[in-house]
Amino acid sequence: MTVPVGDISAPFTFLWDQWDSQVRDNVLQQFGYWGAAMAIASAIGLPVGVWLGHLHRGSFVAINTSNIGRALPTLGVLAVGIGVFGLTFLNIVVAFAVLAIPPILTNAYVGVDSVDPDAVEAAKGMGMRPREVLVRVELPLALPLIFAGLRTSALFVMATIPIAAIVGGKGLGEIINNQASFRLSGVIGAGILVIVLALGVNALLGVVQRLVTPRGLRLSGADSRGDAPPAKSVLPTTTTPEQ
Amino acid sequence: MTPVHAMLAAGGPVIPSFGKSSSCVQDNGAFCFDWIRDNWDSTFQPALINHLKLTVIAVGIGFVLALGLALLAHQRRWLITPLTLVFATVFTIPSLALFQVLVPISGLTVLTAEIALVGYTLSILFANIITGLREVPAEVRDAARGMGLSDRQILFRVELPIALPAVMAGLRIATVTVISLATIATVITVQSLGGPIFEGIQNDFKTKYVAAGLLTVVLALVADGLLVVTQRRLTPWARARRA
């Protein structure tokens, strides 16, 4: 077994040289898949999760969605989706959306469900109607967990999109899966880029979270209550490695 | 006519038969049950068994190593942070890239796949086991020491049983993750269920890859379910606490 001790700057040189011809297109494709999948997953997962949490119902559905979703093998879901619906942009996006919904839905549910009942009582006592309670009290207080779910999904989807290349999709997986053409430096370079993008969207959503959290909650530190555990924490993670 | 021609003419037209393929297969349907049934033994069963082998070996070795490292780090606290950092990094590497990067080192073999899979398992299990051990309340440990138990006895009779739910949760996540990653290992060794998926897609043979994909999903869900049942059986006190 020989360990190839190569030029450590080779992956970065690769990214730089091949940017125009290959890498930039792949990055745009990644964002295309990612954006569409996140949009669909949020459009489905957020309303359902928030609504169930507000009603304090359907915990069985919410928790088990998360369990089943976490268990789904990415390549399996992609294969079934493509087989049944064909290899198109939309089908790949749908497969990733399916994988992205569980963390969003479950976290939204748990976030709204676990809002301090005293706060809800106080709001009702002030005369707020259920919808007002939801929008003005429950949602802001649930924001940390909701965003934790969004960020988990965002990171997971971005880091998993390369898998689509195995089944003929596009994205940085085209490079990673093609060591013959792009050499090890290319594979490592694209791999590093994927990690950077995944952590990048996670950080970006963190900024959005900060901007969206009402000032009062931000000052009280409540906005970091439900932060997705940072990669370096010792907490057991509920996310799975990029598959 | 020569005697040969006469013989051939007498036998009627010769229609070559390349084997029986139903109309479903000829139309490239997404799920031809007859083809699946006919080819189970040759295509799906070996892949399934190999997939199971890959999974069991990876999770088994990963668990033993994680347990050993966690117990070591539990004694020598200074090890926790560096080990956690190392594993968190491995955790973030996109699996496709990790597989490809290992190929020049250990070839297109099962060993390469196992190295990567064990690495991911270790990352998940180490964090869970360490956290489980640390969550043991100090009062419980004090009480045990007050009862005269030695350090080793405390470990095996108090700390590990209390940490069991966290360990089982980690095992669940790790097993399900490995099942999913093992399909991706197909890019370096065709021995898992990813093989039929990949071949099916390359030859545009829908039933093959849809069925293999579904099989992976079912396998993951069944494994998850079995582990949940095992977890409930092994920790009856957790059930009572929740009730």
pLDDT tens readout for residues A111-146: 888 888 898 899 989 988 888 888 888 888 888 888
Using alpha carbons, select from B99, B227, B77, B89 the residue that is nearest to residue B164. Answer: B227
Helix then strand then coil, in percent of chain A rounded to 5, is 75, 0, 25
Mean pLDDT calculated for residue range A209-218: 81
User: CB under 8 Å to B10, separation ≥6 — which residues?
Assistant: none
Interchain contact, A80 vs B173, CB within 8 Å:
no
Q: How far apart are CA B33 and CA B181, in angstroms?
A: 26
A96-110, A209-223, B103-117: range with highest mean pLDDT: A96-110
In angstroms, what separates the C-alpha of B200 from chain A's closest C-alpha? 9
In angstroms, what separates the C-alpha of B78 from chain A's closest C-alpha? 13
Asked whether the beta carbons of A77 and A93 are under 8 A apart, the reply is no
Nearest CA in chain B to A184: B101
Interchain contact, B217 vs A80, CB within 8 Å:
yes
**A chain contacts of residue B203, beta-carbon cutoff 8 Å:** none
Asked whether the beta carbons of A139 and A112 are under 8 A apart, the reply is yes
Asked whether the beta carbons of B106 and B100 are under 8 A apart, the reply is no
Interchain contact, B94 vs A191, CB within 8 Å:
yes
N-term to C-term CA, chain A: 26
- Altogether, the residues listed in chain A come to a count of 243
Q: Which of A80, A187, A238 sits opposite B97 (nearest CB)?
A: A187
Nearest CA in chain B to A85: B30
> Would you call A234 an interface residue with chain B, using a CB distance cutoff of 8 Å?
yes
Asked whether the beta carbons of A39 and A87 are under 8 A apart, the reply is no
**B chain contacts of residue A162, beta-carbon cutoff 8 Å:** 94, 96-97
Interchain contact, A159 vs B101, CB within 8 Å:
no
pLDDT tens, residue order, chain B (243 aa): 566 666 666 655 555 545 556 667 666 666 777 777 777 777 788 888 888 988 999 999 999 999 999 999 888 888 888 888 888 778 778 888 888 888 888 877 788 888 889 998 998 888 888 888 888 888 988 999 898 888 888 888 888 888 888 888 888 888 988 998 888 888 777 678 888 888 887 787 778 888 888 889 999 999 988 998 898 888 777 665 444
Residue with tokens 């749908």: A94
Q: Which of B85, B210, B221 sits opposite A71 (nearest CB)?
A: B221
ipTM entry = 0.72
In angstroms, what separates the C-alpha of A234 from chain B's closest C-alpha? 6
Interchain contact, A232 vs B170, CB within 8 Å:
no
Count of Cβ atoms closer than 10 Å to residue A149 Cβ: 30
Q: How far apart are CA A93 and CA A81, in angstroms?
A: 10
Interchain contact, A236 vs B131, CB within 8 Å:
yes
Question: Six-digit token pair at A160?
Answer: 């998993």
Q: Which of B120, B131, B197 sits opposite A234 (nearest CB)?
A: B131
